[in-house]
Amino acid sequence: MFRSELPAVDAAAVPADAILLDVRENEEWAAGHAEGAVHIPMGEVVSRIGEVPEGARVHVVCRVGGRSAQVAQYLIAQGVDAVNVSGGMLDWEAAGRPVVDGNGSDGFVL
């Protein structure tokens, strides 16, 4: 399934209870991520598709939105209700949304 326009939402508009799939690399995730997000690096999404949460829209995020756009397009083709988070974790952090590190302390976007 090909869409000419990928569904997208600004980081500031992602609902607090949304399913957030972070597709950044392990080092990026460890430095800082949204609390409660699911982490599956982009290169592992195909082999770990069964770990993508079901039952609600999946908000896909990376650092700035490029990798997450590709993953969102793939998920949509698999029948998942997915949307790209425009601006990624950089916009998430800039919007004042919480970012935690691998230990649950204040994190930062790498």
CATH of the domain at 34: 3.40.250.10
Q: Is residue 25 one of the residues assigned to a domain?
A: yes
Rounded Cα–Cα distance for residues 48 and 4 (Å): 26
Name the pTM for this structure: 0.93
Coil/strand/helix, residue 81: coil
Q: Is residue 60 one of the residues assigned to a domain?
A: yes
Q: What is the pLDDT of residues 57-67, one digit of tens each?
A: 999 999 999 99
Q: Is residue 44 one of the residues assigned to a domain?
A: yes
Residue 44 lies in domain: 8-94
Confidence of residue 5 (pLDDT cuts 50, 70, 90): confident
Dihedral of CA 36/107/48/63: which sign?
positive
Rounded Cα–Cα distance for residues 42 and 84 (Å): 13
* Number of domains observed in the structure of the chain: 1
Rounded Cα–Cα distance for residues 5 and 20 (Å): 20
Q: Is residue 104 one of the residues assigned to a domain?
A: no
Poorest-confidence range of 4-8, 45-49, 74-78, 94-98? 4-8
Contacts of 78 (CB under 8 A, 6+ apart): 49
Mean pLDDT of 28-42: 97
Q: Is residue 73 one of the residues assigned to a domain?
A: yes
Active-site residue among 62, 72, 80, 85? 62
Task: For residue 103, give the amino acid letter.
Answer: N
Side-chain-facing half-sphere of 87: CA atoms under 13 Å: 13
Q: Is residue 26 one of the residues assigned to a domain?
A: yes
Poorest-confidence range of 23-32, 39-48, 59-68, 101-110? 101-110
To the query of whether residue 62 is one of the catalytic residues in this protein, the response is: yes
Q: Is residue 15 one of the residues assigned to a domain?
A: yes
Q: Is residue 2 one of the residues assigned to a domain?
A: no
